[in-house]
Each structure stands twice: as C-alpha cells, then as structure tokens.
Structure 1
Amino acid sequence: MLYALYETQRSFMEPFADFALATAKFYSSPTSLLGKSPMAQRIAAGYELAYRLAKDYEKPAFGIPSVEVDGVGVAIHERVEIDKPFCELRRFKRFSDDPATLTKLKGQPVVLVVAPLSGHYATLLRDTVRTMLKDHKVYITDWKNARLVPLSEGAFHLDDYVNYVQEFIRHLQGAYGNCHVVSVCQPTVPVMAAVSLMASRGEPTPLSMTMMGGPIDARRSPTEVNDLAVNRSYEWFENNVIYPVPRKFAGAGRRVYPGFLQYSGFVAMNPDRHATSHYDYFKNLVKGDDASAEAHRRFYDEYNAVLDMDADYYLETIHTVFQEYKLVNGTWDVRSPDGELERVRPQDIRTTALFTVEGELDDISGSGQTHAAHGLCTGLDSTQMRHLEAKGAGHYGIFSGRRWREVVYPQVRQFILDHATPRQPAASSTAPTGAAEPAPAQAETVQTPLLAGVTAAPPALPQRGPRMARKG
C-alpha cells in the first residue's frame, strides 16, 4: 500500500516539477520579460531548486565516450556481454587506430568490477570504471531495477548473486584465460563466496581480488548501518520495508525493498549535509557560479537515482551478513544452480591474491571490516595479500574522486600487475572447517598520507576531454 501511495504522490508532483522547471527558464532567460524583472535570478534559482527536489530521477548513463591512454584518445563502446534476468554483464570495449596504442590495449589485464546491489545503480562507479579503462579491459555488473523484472523470472536470492558472479568469472576466463575481480562495498561478501566455492571445487580462480570498503566482518567497528541490522529483527525488516511493486511496472506484484525507502535512509544518515548542499546550490545559482551548480547536479543526478531490490535477496543479506555473520563463522551454505548446498570455505583459496582497501573515515563499512578477509584466507601467504588504509577518505572516496584516482587506484593497478600471471597452488591448508575466526595472516599494510578535502563532497568537475583518435 505504501508503494502505491508513493507512486500516486509522485505522479501528482510531476506536473508541478515541470512547471517549476519552465518557470525557472523564463526567469533566467535574458530575452524574457520575466528575466528582466527585479529579483529574477533569485526567483529562477528558487524554482530550479524546487524542480530538482520534486523531479523523478531515472537511471543515469555511464557516459564514458573516450579515455586517454598515453596522450592518445581511445574511443569507448558500451555493450551488454551477458543479459541475465536481474543483471547485465556490461563491457566497455576500447577502440584506437594508433597501432602502438592498440598493441598496448590488447596486452592489458582483464578486470571484472562487481558493483554494489544496495540501492544505487552501477553508474555510481563511473569514476572507478573511467579510471581503470586506461590500463585494463573492464567489465561491470550492471544490476537491474527489480520493479522492472517480471514475476515470471522468479525470485532473486543471495545465492543467485553468488552464482551470477561465478558465471561472469567463468565467461571472462573462457574468453581471456583468466581475470581479476574488483568488488566495491556490499559485493565483497558474495565475491568472497564465489571465489571460495570455485577454489573448493578445484576450478581456476581469478588471479586477484580487490575488496574495497565491504562488510566482510560487520562486527568490527560497527556503524549506523550495522547497528540498525543488529537492533532490528529479521521479521521487523520483512514487515516494515518490504512492499509489492505497483501494477504500472513490469514487475508488478514482486516483493521488493523500494528504492524510495532506501533513499530516505541515505538522506537520514546526513540530513544536515544534504540541506547545506542544496542551500549552497541555490546560492551558486543566484551568483551565477555555473561550474559549482553543475557539479551539484551531476552528484545528485547519481545520488538520487535508486533502484528496488528483490525482497529475498535483501532479507537474506541482512540475515547472512549483518545478523548471523555466516561468512566469518564458517556456517554459510550457498545453493548452486543445480540445487546442491555448498559450504563457503575461504581457506581453500590459494591462487587468488587478495588486496583489501578501507577508508579511514568510512561511516558505512567501519575500520577492520574489510581487512577481516585476510584472517579468512589462510591458504594464502603474505606475498599474496596486501592492505591499504586511505587516510582522510570516506566510503565514496576509496572508489571515486581525487583520493581514488591519486592514492587508491595507483596501488590497485600495481597489485593487479604484480599478480598478472597464474600462480601454482600453495601447500594444502590445515585450517579446520567452520573455524569461528582464523588468526589473521601477516599481510603488508600501507597507510596513505592525509589529503585535504571533504569526505563526501560532490565529485570534481571532469578534466578536459582527451584528443580523440578515429574509431576502429
């Protein structure tokens, strides 16, 4: 009922949003009589702010037409490599007519970026993808809005997420021989499960896995997100945040955690910061600071675009990751596509190097939650593991913005290069099955210098576009 009421309200507000936008244009146009009236700039700014607060935000595009590789413009073509009911494996294929550049591109590592399925679209990792395209062949999991998936496609469980990741890894291994995996936030847990299951079966595993700001062990340095999951029961979540999709959508009747409820939770974590940001946007419009106003629009076009999550997946994630801690307790069984239950054993991973990244100021995945992966992967030695704590970085800063580009990414790139060739399996580990929490292996830890800036500021304006080569 709540979802239907929300959609009714949104439909009611749509003409008012259109009116606000049209009025803002009239008052800001230098050729309009209204634009010459006193206070025109302030009135236009007020109406534009009202428009942005009332408008509906659709899924943004990745919008990466090109990147620059060693001073040469490389064209990017997006295409869907695998289309699953709840996810698309999206490829960013690179083209160049410069022979030396083309040779270099062909020899670069293949990376599967596993994007979060936790409210926002995969386009939240646009800066991650754009940066990595300079040195890698990049694929990404582009999760679909559950309200657009018909009921005939069935439910989507946490087990299905793990199985999707395995299928995508196998696809890249078949195409290229092997690949590297980068997971950001929520997918660190299912990626760990996917690679563990492949290792337990004796399948080839990725050359490396980079885990950034994820809840491997949500008991460590708990945040508001963790506290909410612990202080509320499974039944509370099922009864209070799960609603059927209204009839107007393709997924009508599907039980979901609606995007608008998730967005309310995002804003509630930092209401003062968002209020200040919108007021600053109004002031920038009044004084004609177009660059700052455009940066605000880009940030909130992404931040305000949210998707619905299938109820089974969401509730199972709460139960498995944030309430029962099944991964670190060694009690997580995943159902394979053929219906067989398999125990997740990270200690069986022996040929996939591990790099964990945390932000010093991360208020979503607390300090130590991602680093806990080192204590689970007891089959790896110290040369296969590394940890980075990005000083001064918040949650978004470890995969987007200046800290990501200047501090985190260079080390991710080097780690992938250092483990670009297959490694022979190490000696069998004697770690017992289901160990509560193995002692951490001694991994190399790097701490980055403190950089100036605000943790959750809107992303910086893009740099001047690269010199384009002809498409090949």
Structure 2
Amino acid sequence: MFYQLYELNHAAIQPFRAYADAVKLFYSNPLNPFSHTPWGRSVAAMAELFERTTRRYGKPSFDLPTTVVDWKTVPVSERIVWSRPFCNLIHFERALPARREKKDPKLLIVAPMSGHYATLLRGTVEAMMPHAEVYITDWVDARMVPVSEGRFDLDDYIDYVIDMLHALGTDTHVMAVCQPSVPVLAAVSVMEARGDRYAPSSMTLMGGPIDTRRNPTAVNLLAEEKGIDWFRDNVIMQAPWPDPGFGRSVYPGFLQLSGFMSMNLDRHIIAHKEFFLHLVKNDGDSAEKHRDFYDEYLAVMDLTAEFYLQTVETVFVRHDLPKGRMRHRGELVDPGAIRNVALFTVEGENDDISGVGQTQASHDLCVNIPADMRAHYLQPAVGHYGVFNGSRFRSEIVPRIVDFITSHGRENRPAVKPRIVRVAKG
C-alpha cells in the first residue's frame, strides 16, 4: 500500500510540477527582460529546483557515440547480444579497421544491481572502450518485468553471469563493480570447480562487499543490527498498477535512494543550494554539471524482493562467502577451486559503502591462485564512486586494470594448469 501512496503523491503534485516548469521557461526566456535580472533568475532557479526535486528520473542513455582507438576517433554502436527477462547484455561495438592487427581483449563489466541503472558506469565504459571490446550487464527494472516471467534471486544472478561468459566465449575478462563482486566471485568459483573452459581469464573486483566484517560501514552495520526479518517486513512492497510488473514483490528504488542520500544528506543539501546560486549567477557550466550528476544519481530501479533479501542475508547478515558456507543451487561455493583465473582487486581509501579490506578479502579466499596472477590496489583520496569513475579512476586505476588484463590473457600465459574438481563433503 505504501508504494501506491507514493505513486499517488507523485501524481497529485504533477500539476504543480507543470506550473513550476512553465514559470522556469517564462523567467529564463531571453526575450523576457526579467531573465536578465537577479530577481528573474532567482524565480527561474526556484522553479527549476522544485521541478527537479519532485520529478521521477527515467533511465538515462549511455550516449557514447565515439571512442578513441590508436589515436583515432572511431564510431561506437550499442548492440544487445544476449537477453533474458531481467537483463540485457550490451556490446559497445567499435568500428575498427578490418585489417587491424592488434586484437583487444573482451571485457564483461557486471554493473551493480543495487538501485541504479547500468548507466551509472558510463564513465567506466568510456574509459575502457579504447582498450577492450566492452560488454555490460544492463539490468532491467523489476517493476517492468511481468510476474509471469518468474522470480529472480541471487542464484539466478550467478546463473546469468555464467551464461553470459558462455555466450562471450573463451578468453573473456570480467569486471565486477561493487555489489556484483560477490556473485561474480561465486560464479567463477562454480565454473572452476566444474572445470568449465569458459571461465574468464581474469576477474577484477572493485569496491565489493566480499567480507563486510572488515571495517564495517554504516550500510554493513545497519544490516547486521536489523536482521533479515526487519528488511522483509519494512522495505518489501508490491509493484503498483499500471506497471507491467504489477503485483511483483520488490525493493523499491526510491527507498534505496533515500537510504543512500540520508548517509550524506548535508552534502546533497549543499549541492542543491550551490546549484541554486549557480543559476542565479548565470554560471551555466557549473549548473550543467549538477544536472548531469543528479540526472544519473536520482534515476533508480526496483529490485526483486527475493534477490534483495537473499543478498542481504547471505552477504551482510550471515557472511556466508568468507565463512565458507555460501551455496549456489545446493552446491558449495569454494573460491579455493579457482586456479586459472587471475585476480585483481581495487579499493578506495575513503570508501564509505565498502570499507577498506572488504574487497581485498577475496585474496584470502582464493588461496590457490598463484602469486604472479593476483594483485591489489588501494586508490588514495577517493570514495566509493571514485573507485570506478572520475579523474583519478581514469588516470590511475584504468592503466593498472588494462595492464593486468593484457598480462593475463590466455595467449600471454604458459600452459594452463589443470583444474581440480572438488566435491563438497556432507
């Protein structure tokens, strides 16, 4: 019922939002003399601020029409190469010369399924395209998936990752950003234990909650304090009519967004205050940067209830993976089975979502990966977002990822060590 009330409230203020939009257009029109005065710009700024803070933000586009390869600008086209009800796999296909000798590695970027769309990683994709054939998981808003398509939980997520690696073929590299670090590590563990020849050549885990007992953040402590029953009773709702997923149990994106914003509420309030002042001062560049960031940040999607609850319980409450108790379809997930997949982990010094050491913990679990096939990097002076986006990501993290991927492609390795299939006891 709460979700329906939220939708009703959004619909009720639609006339006010339309009026604010009209006021903004009137007082920002250059033909209106008031638009050239501080008073007129203040009215337009107030109207825009109201409209932006009450609107629903739709899914943004990647909007990456070109990239630079070998110092030349080449066109890029988005193409869906694999599709399931809850995810599409997008290939950013570069129009490279047919006779180009160098073959770039295939890179599967697994985007977070944690409330934001995959476009949150637009900067990650843009930075990697000059160096690799980039594919990204484009997760579908759960409220847009009819109930007839069935459920989707953490086990399904792991199956999706495995299926995508099969679809991309051998010698693929995988990168998991934040939340998918756990299911990606689980998927690779399962594939190696089965002797799957489509296991990736390398996996890069970035700012992920592998072991949230290390340097727990506010997010981690909340999950442990409340327990899974609290989340089931307080944050799970039914997708409202007339959405295609009407009746599906979901964790609404607006609740996830509220939680994230409340952690740094003062920062967001200051950002909107500065946005207002930039508009009054007619500082268009600074105002546009604010719009670009919040157009992405405020665009959210719903998660299926079963996926959200299983993830919270498995990763944040019971810590099943670091304790050696995580299972996939009844099969024990054993990171010790990984022997032939290189491991690179990246963390941010000021990360307030996944604390320092939580991602690095994967090295303690993957005990059978040789020392020359693993590396860890702690990026100074960046928070969670800076681990996969921003100037430091482009200048300091990307070169390390590219070097690691290039060094651990199948063609650059000695003979592949035999995989050992382990059978869980009990």
TM-score range, shorter chain: over 0.9
What is the CA deviation profile of residues 46-78 of structure 1, one whole-angstrom value per residue up to 9, with x for unaligned ones?
Answer: 111111111110000011010112331111100
Asked if 1 retains the 8 angstrom alpha-carbon contact of 2:194 and 2:421, the reply is no
Distance 1:19 1:91 in 2: 41
Residue number in structure 1 paired with 2:249: 255
Distance 1:90 1:261 in 2: 27
Matched, 1:271 2:265: yes
Residue number in structure 2 paired with 1:15: 15
Letter in 2 for 1:298: D
Distance 2:385 2:359 in 1: 15
1:133 aligned to which of 129, 132, 143 = 129
SS in 1 for 2:77: strand
Residue number in structure 2 paired with 1:61: 61
Matched, 1:116 2:109: no
Residue number in structure 2 paired with 1:351: 340
Asked if 1 retains the 8 angstrom alpha-carbon contact of 2:193 and 2:422, the reply is no
Letter in 2 for 1:264: S
Shift of 1:23: 0.9
Asked if 2 retains the 8 angstrom alpha-carbon contact of 1:378 and 1:431, the reply is no
Distance 1:103 1:288 in 2: 50
Map 1:58-457 to 2 at 5 A.
58-96=58-96, 98=97, 102-104=100-102, 107-173=103-169, 177-204=170-197, 205-335=199-329, 341-421=330-410, 423=413, 424-426=415-417
Letter in 2 for 1:45: A
Distance 2:101 2:49 in 1: 49
Letter in 2 for 1:323: V
Shift of 1:427: 7.1
Alpha carbons of structure 1 residues 170 and 250: separation in structure 2 relative to 1, 3 Å: same
Letter in 1 for 2:164: F
Distance 1:34 1:77 in 2: 44
Asked if 1 retains the 8 angstrom alpha-carbon contact of 2:346 and 2:378, the reply is yes
Two-structure CA RMSD over aligned residues (Å) = 1.7
Equivalent residue pairs, number: 422
Alpha carbons of structure 1 residues 326 and 297: separation in structure 2 relative to 1, 3 Å: same
Distance 2:110 2:316 in 1: 20
Using the aligned pairs only, state the percent identity.
47
What is the CA deviation profile of residues 237-288 of structure 1, one whole-angstrom value per residue up to 9, with x for unaligned ones?
Answer: 0000000011110000000000111111011000000000000001111111
Shift of 1:99: 5.8
Distance 2:17 2:375 in 1: 49
Distance 1:169 1:15 in 2: 48
Residue number in structure 2 paired with 1:469: none
Residue number in structure 2 paired with 1:452: none
SS in 2 for 1:9: helix
Alpha carbons of structure 1 residues 166 and 19: separation in structure 2 relative to 1, 3 Å: same
Distance 1:103 1:30 in 2: 54
**Which deviates further from its counterpart, 425-434 or 355-364?**
425-434
Distance 1:419 1:195 in 2: 16
TM-score by length of 1: 0.87
Letter in 2 for 1:299: F
Asked if 2 retains the 8 angstrom alpha-carbon contact of 1:172 and 1:179, the reply is yes
| Structure 2: unaligned runs, 5 residues or longer | none
Shift of 1:38: 6.7
Distance 2:311 2:241 in 1: 27
Distance 2:85 2:423 in 1: 37
Letter in 2 for 1:190: P
Letter in 2 for 1:243: M
Asked if 2 retains the 8 angstrom alpha-carbon contact of 1:378 and 1:429, the reply is no
What is the CA deviation profile of residues 204-245 of structure 1, one whole-angstrom value per residue up to 9, with x for unaligned ones?
Answer: 211000000000001000000100110012111000000001
| Structure 1: unaligned runs, 5 residues or longer | 336-340, 435-472
Asked if 1 retains the 8 angstrom alpha-carbon contact of 2:337 and 2:422, the reply is no
Alpha carbons of structure 1 residues 427 and 201: separation in structure 2 relative to 1, 3 Å: closer
SS in 2 for 1:180: strand
Distance 1:262 1:138 in 2: 28
Distance 1:75 1:151 in 2: 38
SS in 2 for 1:216: coil
TM-score by length of 2: 0.96
Alpha carbons of structure 1 residues 369 and 43: separation in structure 2 relative to 1, 3 Å: same
Letter in 1 for 2:69: V
Shift of 1:35: 3.0
SS in 2 for 1:138: strand
Distance 2:158 2:419 in 1: 25
Shift of 1:33: 5.1
Asked if 1 retains the 8 angstrom alpha-carbon contact of 2:86 and 2:142, the reply is yes
Asked if 2 retains the 8 angstrom alpha-carbon contact of 1:347 and 1:431, the reply is no
Distance 1:207 1:51 in 2: 48
Alpha carbons of structure 1 residues 246 and 220: separation in structure 2 relative to 1, 3 Å: same
Asked if 2 retains the 8 angstrom alpha-carbon contact of 1:379 and 1:428, the reply is no
Distance 1:327 1:50 in 2: 45
